[in-house]
Structure 1
Amino acid sequence: MARGKNAVNRSKKQSGKKNKSFGNNKHYRKDKFTNKKHAIKDETKQRDFRKFHHKRNDSENSNKRRRVDEEIQRKDLTDDESSELETDDFKQLLSTFGDIVSSQKKAVESDSEDSDSENSESENDSCQNKLSSLVKDKHIDDQKLKSADVAEEKVESQYFNAGQNLQDDSEEFEEEYNDTEKEEPDDVSDPFTGHFCFDIAPELLDSVSVTPPKTQVHTENWPTLGQLIFNIPSAPVTSEKFLNKSYFPKVIIEEENVYAKSGTVPKYINEVNWSKLHVKTQISKNLSKANFSNLGALDENNPSPLTPLQKELFSIVNNYQDLFYPERNLSNGEEVRFIYCLHAVNHVLKTRLRILHHNAKLSRKDDVPEEFRDQGLVRPKVLILVPFKDSALRVVKMIMDILIPDEKANVMNKNRFLNEFSGSELIMPKKNPKPEDYEATFTGNTDDTFRIGLTVTKKSLKLYADFYSADIIVASPLGLRVIVGAEGESGRDYDFLASIEILVLDQTEIFFMQNWDHLLHILDHLHLQPRESHGTDFARVRSWAVNGWTRYYRQSMVFSSLTLPEMNSLFNKKCRNYAGKVRVINPVISGTICQVVVQLPQVFQKLQASSSLQLIEARFDYFVKKVLPQYKDSIMSHVLVFIPSYFDYVRIRNYFKREDMSFVQICEYSKENKIARARDMFFHDEAHFLLYSERFHFFNRLRIKGIRHILFYQPPTFPHFYSEMCNLMQVIIFYMNGSFNRPVFKKLSIKNKLFLQEANQSRHSGADSNMTVTVLYSKYDVQQLAAVVGTERASRMVTSERNVHMFMTGD
């Protein structure tokens, strides 16, 4: 007990000393706060405060000062209360600045870590400059400055980081902000600025909004791409006002409107200079390595960072014009992928730099000028549609190599992405290998239901970002179709598609084999008015986005290995870029008919139809009334009917059932046991006809044995399927490294050739001379027909008065 009393006494003595010390300094502290109070009331500084406090109520400021005066005049304060009072006045001052800065209109682009931390850093710099100026004018001593620094840190936390779990990267912001000072984003020579920073002239809008658009057609021949057709919307005279502006115009009410210039025919690139091509410096140093590491080799004789094909593709793409390139194949697929990934990353970085640059300027402004409109209705800007997860894996890896090639770079959720998008590969047979194109198409993970958002910053990449905070969306048509849903479904969402500025369709021919309707459904939901605001700052939304003109600004790129009427229709109706569109149209010299090695007659019969809709009925009637009766005789057994469209397949199958004809069927919905049974019955002549769908052949590539006659209900979608099916009629195709090797086959002895024939044909199926191929075609099938027989032949066959044309192997 005694020990406890002594401790209490010592505590009281120490407390008394503290109170005494406070009493000696009480008048000094009171004078200090009184001087500061009078300084604030100074008339000159009142004008400065009114400048900073233009949005605050005068009565509220008066009440705050009255409360501060009452606290200063208190005499009986404890030591803790006095220390709090010393900084409280500065807190009041700093909180006033904080209210001003927080009231500035900021870009609400997303909740990504990097953008928010950079915005707050820029605002803090502005707040610090204002505070430093005021403190210097009033000669506040060093002790108060230290207190102000502590209080400022609290204000930063309160006003800029409250309620957000964001990663602070001040060094990255400082470096990127320096870039904003060096790289002015309002360079009118940059196609990005010229395309997105101006409204369309009324005359130009009228040209692109009508169906069909009013365009001027130009034709050119480039060294690598070949023949190009440019469709440029008619250019109004008023839009040329843009060309006379050497600076970024400020559009105000009193000024004459400045419109976007119309599109022009691009000049193809001879020498690659990334600066002149307006490629961001932060990625330009990575491009050579990223490109040739994906191509697999570096050509020492060609020091250019782009191949000749890539130069010409980038000449068009960088000009923000629509492109339809129907010659993507196994050899140039990676070259094409690199170009659109480079363009997408460069576009996102330019948009990001522009927003950061405007944020820094807006921190010193009271309102948002018209020139600072730099956003869409939602954040996602780039949509890349690919058919399989393996394709998405290649796209994301390419973006990583372009943006952050370092293996230790900051890529969020990288391991999760690699686990989900790799593996699950199809096992290719070694005994009877699949064709080379099949193995290349279905390599890796072939899952077709996926979607992933990517958020791009200067030095990091976030995978699996929420769509409304993502810059790039990589998905399959089916993956997005699940989210977009159908009318009347609950929980459907398509607002994230409202502001897509770049659309990429890669391997479009596979979309046609999967489900073309899914793709059309996605395109129909682009640029619809969002149902919710999603945190958008409408003061920063571009005027053309508010007007609903985003579809005329969107750049679309369609890459395919073939040309189909459906693709042409999509490119003509869904792509309305006011800068114009470019399509590659090269004639087919020989066609796949030259790859047929079996000696047999190939007959092409022409149908007459007045329209594509009437063609459906005309084709069916011609088939069942004129063609099919010729193959019902027992001599014409082992007939395979090759049907490209599933709807036609179902119609013919139902007809065969009604007529009680001897047939078996194989389609993409057939089960494995029924497929095996149908193949066996057809080979052993237990079924006269085999109905065979092209989609099944695309996904399986089986070698059907026992074929003596082939009826192509329509020219095949994939032209190499024609020669592939014809070559199955006589021998098993001799493959070496996955492709047919004609010289090796010719060296085989007659005995071995007969063995191959017997292995592929039934001994009792008929004579070798009794084999035929018949193809039904019309003028609406000219593109598929040209891919089979060549452009020149197809043109003659369509325009000729003769309805029957026959070719023999070797002609």
Structure 2
Amino acid sequence: MNVGTPPDPFHLHFASLGQHGKAASALAAQAASSSSPSALPAYTLTTHTYDAIGPILQYDTPHTLPSTQDRLQETVRNAYHAHLQARHCRPPSPLQRSTLNLIQSYVDLLHPYLALSQRDQVRETVAAHLLSHVQNTRRVILRNNERPAKAAASDGGKSAKGKGASADDMDLDVQDDEGEGGEAKTNDDLDELVRDQGFTRPKILVLLSLRNSALSAKRFLRDFTLPEGTLDRLAQPDASARFPADHVATFQGNIDDSFVLGFKVTRKEWRAYARSDSDFLSSIEIVVADQLDVMQMQNWEHVKFVFSQLNHIPRKVHASTNFARVRQWSLDGAAPYLRQTILLSSLDTPEVRALFAPLRNVAVRRRVLAADDGKKGLKGGKKEEGAAGMVADGVRQVFVKFDCANVQAEADVRLAHFTTKVCTSLSLSLSYSARTPSYFNFVLLVDHLQELEEKDELRFTSIS
């Protein structure tokens, strides 16, 4: 590493016994010995302003890394800049530079105000960050594959621990890694230095709402576009006049929400994995959840379930796991304290905040604020009314309380109260609409209404 060059966030954050790794292991041990299910890093709140993004609330910890300029892996940087020149005829925009500065030090980020016009720029930058992480990870592994052989040669031919993936298997040329520690002086040092992996191979998880968001060229056109002969109304010339821009962007193309993809990135190509039931979530190092506002209109319980299953120590030993190469903080169950989580949404909702609040990254958490934060409640120098004050005069608002002795049965009790008490009185009206708080409640209510429709007691339609 050159004198005066800022340290590489990748090595500082993910090294087996680096500054962040030790802090994460200590927090994991603290959580294991206390009655609290998790120990959160201590933090202080500061506010910063980023070009083209605006104000950001930063949860600083003692281990916060300074923001750095472009530290993308060289191959990825060249491809990223070439892509921008070919597609947009320009270098990275101010928004893309600010986004890269925000995420490349492996901090958690919540952006709940991502405009439609900004979405593609942020996606391109996040994708470059993910590819840079994959390249850095593989380069470290390949370099460490050579260390035992070098140590054995310098030690008179004695064998050393730490067999890893071969260069042929990883399909990447071995190169030096910037910012990596020096050579091991003892066998114990070597054993620790080559700990560069998790329990399983997958390192990145990207959650998307619909197939059209995952659409990529070439082989995926078949699986992620509409079936042959199907008319896409939102691809017609008059779509922009008939529907809002965000509606067209979200629902154009294949909107199936049941899909999963796995990739292995090699030097020459991307290889798709077959479906597997392995503990692939155990060693995830970066999670990206895009269009969380759309996911809230699907089944939010699925999102919460996926996050609840991240970074658990596998229940069974996998043949591909080499424990001599597993990082110490992974063995300590500290992976949640080092995982980077990037949450993107166009709406700031309590559910999205609840997903962000318990994140435990020792680096730092950053939340993009609304442009008018600090002046909220004021509009034109006058106090702005809340949503309840916008209800038209004469509209009656009724808040109904029902008894529920068991919180686990709350959904069933609420549905029963609605169908037996509320729905009966509403049926006297000419028409009415009902909105459910979750997709689970929606399915239960639709089933009930279908039963009533079969009895010719009412007619209804559902929108989901």
Same fold, TM exceeding 0.5?
A: yes
Partner of 1:6: none
Bigger relative contact order (CA 8 A; separation at least 6): 2
Q: Give the structure-1-normalised TM-score.
A: 0.42
Structure 1 match to 2:170: none
2:46·2:60 contact (CA, 8 Å) conserved in 1? no
**Matching of residue 191 in structure 1 with residue 15 in structure 2:** no
What letter is aligned with 1:463?
R
Q: Which moved more, 1:323-332 or 1:285-294?
A: 285-294
Distance 1:219 1:351 in 2: 31
8 Å CA contact 1:221–1:228 kept in 2: the answer is: yes
> Displacement of 1:550 after TM fit?
1.5
TM-aligned CA distance change 1:538 to 1:226, over 3 Å: same
* AA partner of residue 525 (structure 1): Q
* 2:79 counterpart letter in structure 1: N
Unaligned runs of 5+ in 1: 1-182, 236-261, 270-275, 300-304, 398-414, 468-482, 484-492, 668-695, 700-811
**3-state SS of 1:230 partner:** strand
Mapped contact 2:96–2:125 kept (Cα < 8 A): yes
Q: Which amino acid aligns with 1:450?
A: F
Q: Which amino acid aligns with 1:390?
A: N
Corresponding letter in the other structure for 2:7? S
- 1:624-643 matches, within 5 Å, as 637-643=430-436
1:288 aligns with 2:115: no
Tell me, yes or no, if the aligned pair for 2:111 and 2:344 is still in contact at 8 Å: yes
How many angstroms does 1:389 deviate by? 2.3
CA contact (8 A) 2:43 2:59 kept: yes
CA deviation map 1:586-642 (0-9, x unaligned):
25778xx99xxx99648584849899979987999799989996x777xx6343344
For the 8 Å contact 1:217–1:229, the answer to whether it is kept is: no
- Partner Cα separation in structure 2 for residue 457 and residue 537 of structure 1: 21
Partner residue, 1:365: 151
Q: Does 1:461 align with 2:269?
A: yes
Q: Secondary structure at the match of 2:360?
A: coil
Is the Cα contact below 8 Å between 1:426 and 1:443 reproduced in 2?
no
Q: Deviations over 1:207-226 (max 9, x none)?
A: 77754624323131414333
Map 1:524-563 onto structure 2 (within 5 A).
Answer: 524-530=308-314, 531-563=316-348
Structure 2 match to 1:277: 70
Q: Taking structure 1 as reference, are residues 442 and 416 closer, same or farther at Cα in structure 2, changes over 3 Å only?
A: same
Distance 2:105 2:346 in 1: 23
Distance 1:337 1:561 in 2: 13
Partners of 2:257 and 2:232 lie apart in 1 by 17
Partner in structure 2 of residue 571 of structure 1 = 356
The correspondence for 1:664, drawn from 455, 459, 464, is: 459
* Aligned equivalent of 2:224: 421
Letter in 1 for 2:74: T
Q: Secondary structure at the match of 2:296?
A: helix
Look up the equivalent residue of 1:335 and give its one-letter code: Q
Alignment match, 1:263 = 64
Higher radius of gyration, 1 or 2: 1
Cα offset for 1:423? 3.9
- 1:232-288 alpha-carbon deviations (Å, 9 max, x no partner): 44x3xxxxxxxxxxxxxxxxxxxxxxxxxx125x54x7xxxxxx5322222222323
SS at match of 1:567: helix
2:22 matched to which residue of 1? Answer: 200
In 2, distance between residues paired with 1:353 and 1:562?
Answer: 38
Q: 1:325·1:560 contact (CA, 8 Å) conserved in 2? A: yes
Tell me, yes or no, if structure 1 residue 225 matches structure 2 residue 30. Answer: no
Compared CA separation, residues 642 and 517, structure 1 to 2 (3 A): closer
The 3-state SS of whatever aligns with 1:290 is: helix
**2:134 matches 1:348:** yes
Matched residues in 1 for 2:94 and 2:200: separation? 37
* Structure 1 residue 542, shift from structure 2 partner: 1.0
Deviations 1:291-350 (A, max 9, x none): 3655xx446xxxxx3222222222221111111111223211101211210111000111
- The structure richer in helix per residue is 1
Q: Sequence identity of aligned pairs in percent?
A: 28
Q: What does residue 205 of structure 2 align with?
A: 383
Alignment of 1:613-652 (within 5 A): 637-646=430-439, 650=444
Opposite residue 340 of structure 1, the aligned amino acid is: V
**Structure 2 length normalisation: TM-score?**
0.70
Question: Is the alpha carbon distance of 1:359 and 1:508 closer, same or farther for their aligned partners in structure 2, counting shifts above 3 Å?
Answer: same
Q: Tell whether the 8 Å contact from 1:607 to 1:622 is kept in structure 2 after alignment.
A: no
CA distance in 1, matches of 2:304, 2:391: 42
Contact 1:373 1:543 (8 Å CA) reproduced? yes
Structure 2 Cα separation of the partners of residues 525 and 502 of structure 1? 14
Tell me by how many angstroms 1:648 deviates.
Answer: 5.0
Which residue of the partner structure matches residue 31 of structure 1?
none
Aligned residues: 390
User: Is 1:310 aligned with 2:96?
Assistant: yes
2:115 is aligned with 1:322? no
Q: Distance in 2 between matches of 1:448 and 1:647?
A: 16
Structure 1 residue 213 corresponds to structure 2 residue 4: no
- Aligned counterpart for 1:501 among listed residues 276, 285, 289: 285
Q: Secondary structure at the match of 1:284?
A: helix
Cα distance between partner residues in 1 of 2:396 and 2:342: 35
Runs of 5+ unmatched residues, structure 2: 153-159, 162-189, 380-384
> Matches of 1:212 and 1:539 in 2, distance apart?
28
Q: Is the CA contact (8 Å cut-off) linking 1:227 and 1:584 kept in structure 2?
A: yes
1:203 Cα deviation (Å)? 5.0
Distance of 1:533 and 1:626 partners within structure 2: 53
CA 316–664 in structure 1, closer or farther in 2 if over 3 Å, else same: same
Measure, in 2, the Cα distance between the counterparts of 1:618 and 1:515.
Answer: 19
Distance 1:537 1:625, change over 3 A: closer
Query: What SS does the corresponding residue of 1:583 show, helix, strand or coil?
Result: strand
Give 1:542's aligned amino acid.
R
Aligned to 2:364: 580
Match of 2:215 in 1: 393
Q: What is the CA–CA distance in structure 1 between the aligned matches of 2:344 and 2:441, rounded to whole Å? A: 27
How has the CA–CA distance of structure 1 residues 600 and 433 changed in structure 2, closer, same or farther, with 3 Å as cutoff? same
Instruction: For 2:84 and 2:31, locate their aligned partners in 1 and report how far apart those are by CA, in whole Å.
Output: 36
Alpha-carbon distance between aligned partners in 2 of 1:611 and 1:558, rounded to the nearest angstrom: 36
Q: Counterparts of 1:141-220 in structure 2 under 5 Å?
A: 189-197=7-15, 198=18, 199-201=21-23, 204-205=27-28, 210=36, 211=38, 213-220=40-47
Relative distance call for 1:203 and 1:599 in structure 2 (3 A) is closer
Partner of 1:515: 299
Amino acid at match of 1:513: M
1:173-210 deviations in whole A, cap 9, x for unaligned? xxxxxxxxxx89xx980010100012323655467775
C-alpha separation in 2, matches of 1:642 and 1:525: 29
Contact 2:27 2:39 in 1 (8 A): no
Task: Tell me the residue number matched to 1:729.
Answer: none
Tell me the equivalent position of 1:10: none
Give a deviation string over 1:449-480, Cα, whole Å, max 9, x none. Answer: 3222222233x12231357xxxxxxxxxxxxx
Matched residue type, 2:360: R
Query: Cα distance, 1:524 vs. partner?
Result: 2.9
Counterpart of 2:357 in 1: which secondary structure?
A: helix
Aligned 8 A contact 2:73 2:136 in 1: yes
